Amino acid sequence: MTNTTKQDRVLIFDTTLRDGEQSPGATMTHDEKIEIAEMLDDMGVDIIEAGFPIASEGDFKAVSEIAERSKNSRICGLARANFTDIDRCWEAIKHAEQSRIHTFIGTSELHRAIPNLTMDEMADKIHETVSHARNLCENVQWSPMDATRTEWDYLCRVVEIAIKAGATTINIPDTVGYTAPDESADLIRNLITTVPGADEVVFATHCHNDLGMATANSLAAVAGGARQIECTINGLGERAGNTALEEVVMALKTRNDIMPWHTGIDTTKIMAISRRVATVSGFPVQFNKAIVGKNAFAHESGIHQDGMLKNRENFEIMLPEDVGLSGTSLPLGKHSGRAALRDKLEHLGFDVGDNQLKDVFVRFKDLADRKKEVFDDDIIALMRTGEDAENDRLKLVTLRVACGTGGPAEATMVMSVDGENKTAICQGDGPVDAAFNAVREVHPNKAHLQLYQVHAVTEGTDAQATVSVRLEEDGNIATGQSADTDTVVASAKAYIHALNRLMVRRGKMGEGADNREINWKDVT
């Protein structure tokens, strides 16, 4: 197959729903995966790696539905180097208008030892499995996992085998974030000039961020000749994460003078999907994160503020509007109507229906009564609060906490369990501990608290607190989030939200929705 990709065009391959979801605790529900896939499709992502179909029945169903509903993107599924994985992958993606099978095997000496294959045995396996995938699908991607630590001669050999077997994209993964920019560029450049048939395929780069160089390594690979970048929203991914989509896309757009390549991404949709992925994954974006962090376009230094007032280009190399950020306070209050709120939500990148607007409006009015100023970030927090509440079995009704220096904190809680109100009065080492003990009194559970995080949404003593809680029970992991001007209330709601999601996961275990049988250590 001739590579018809223009030399100045870089394809964006998003693996948020596959590699990103491998982050411990980042597992998404079926509906959340569909929603994120639709947002990726709408923003112009070229290839969406929708999941690992063989992993579970739930993954298979999600990939299948994404494939059927995709409008613009090519839908890709991951498969290990065996016929069973590849056949299952094809079954999931075959109804997409544009489909791709992505198959892989670990080629470094360390990874060859896992299946205990010799170099020759692995070479034969690569030829057999890539050929099988190509017989099913005309668009096949092959990855030599841990390529950056694979012996050079052997890497050239297996890449040539994959090309001859029919692979149309050769992805070079830096699976453990080991390489550096110069090495990354040289590796791609040398493969293209050395391997027979390399000029007939697209080379891709897949970088992890263990040494903090994923973005730099990906852009260097493009300079070396790669024309596909594998990445995730917010850099989500196992360990230190993957290359962040927003970083490589905006780097190419902002510094097009020295990196003369472009993507098809609608950058104005970046902030909306960043916020949504942060919410459904339970992984909040760090404040100083490039492009999408809360402080990415904030200026506090007097010198910087003075320079911004005179000319924003003094301290901003890109416009906040380019990534879908308004950068303004919310000029709404308790007297504002629904039309004004809907307009602001649309400006912030939220498309809400009438029923959702009605729910958000009630919570907005309640917040406006308690806060002196309501900011954009407050509205974003409201959009995160109350998600899935309609079908929740557990709901907080009232919570009162007594605490101070005179003794242990005490929480009095009324919680609805399947529509029936139950009351508990519990003590604890502080108000949050007391509130969590009250939840456990009403709804006994064996969930282990893995994470408890509190972030102030805006400034001031009346700021909303956004709380994230991650729970683990019998191998199931769920994250809950909530926001409230009362930190203890937000904490209790987040804890209850996580418990509700755990119950959903337990309910689906019989269907295999989240019961993963795959050894994720075997995945790029």
Residues in binding site: 19, 206, 208, 242
Contact 45, 73 (CB under 8 A): yes
CA triple 477-481-484, angle to 5 deg: 160
Residue 400: φ, ψ to 5°: -130, 135
Contact 497/491 with Cβ under 8 angstroms? no
Angstrom distances, CA of residue 274 to CA of 77, 82, 136, 248, 292: 22, 35, 35, 14, 7
| Full strand arrangement of the beta sheet holding 448-456 | 448-456, 465-473, 476-484
Residue 493, H or E segment: helix 487-508
Contact (CB, 8 A) for 226 and 188:
yes
Residue with tokens 């293209």: 192
Taking Cα atoms as reference points, which of 222, 217, 105 lies closest to residue 154?
Answer: 105
Binding site per annotation, positions for Mn(2+):
19, 206, 208, 242
Nearest Cα to 279, choosing from 28, 7, 92? 28
Q: Which helix (H) or strand (E) holds 131?
A: helix 119-136
Compute the radius of gyration of the chain from its Cα atoms. 25
DSSP string, 173-196: EETTS---HHHHHHHHHHHHHHST
Residue 15: which of 43, 42, 36 has the closest Cα?
A: 36
Cα diameter, the chain? 78
Query: In terms of C-beta density within 10 A (0-12 exposed, 13-18 middle, 19 or more buried), how is residue 309 classed?
Result: exposed
Grouping H, G, I as helix, E, B as strand and the rest as coil, residue 97 is coil
The shares of helix, strand and coil residues in the chain, as percent rounded to the nearest 5, are 45, 20, 35
Please provide the DSSP assignment of 345-384 as one string.
HHHTT----HHHHHHHHHHHHHHHHH-S---HHHHHHHHH
